[in-house]
Amino acid sequence: MMWIARTGSLWRDLPDRYPNWRSVYSRWRRWVRQALWGKILALVENAFARLKSTRRIATRYDQTVASFSAFVSLARVFLWLM
C-alpha cells in the first residue's frame, strides 16, 4: 500500500514481491471502510505528543546532552511498552 502511495502506480502494477494486487486492494478497501487509517494516525500523533511532553520535562531537568539522550531513550521504551 505504501508502494502504491509512493509511486502513484496502478494496483495492477504492484511488483511480484508483494501478494496478488487484488488481495492488497481488498485489504486496503476494508481498512478504509473501517476508518482504520484515521485510528492509526491518531495513535501515532498521540505517541508523538506524549514523547514531546516528556522531552519538555527532560530539558528542564537534564542539562547535559548525555543525560538528556538517555532520558529520551528511556521515554521511548516506556511509551513503546504502554
Task: Check whether residue 50 and residue 27 sit in a common domain.
Answer: no
Give the side-chain half-sphere CA count within 13 A for 6: 4
Q: Is the pTM of this model over 0.75?
A: no
Task: Check whether residue 29 and residue 51 sit in a common domain.
Answer: no
User: Which domain covers residue 7, as residue numbers?
Assistant: 2-34
Compute how many other C-beta atoms are within 10 angstroms of the C-beta atom of residue 14. Answer: 20
The answer for residues whose C-beta is within 8 angstroms of residue 46's C-beta and 6 or more apart is: none
| pLDDT digit string, tens, across residues 66-80 | 666 777 777 777 776
The answer for residues whose C-beta is within 8 angstroms of residue 1's C-beta and 6 or more apart is: 24, 27, 28
Structural domain count of the chain: 2
Share the mean pLDDT of the chain: 77
User: What's the one-letter identity of residue 47?
Assistant: A
Q: Which of the residues in the chain have pLDDT under 50? A: none
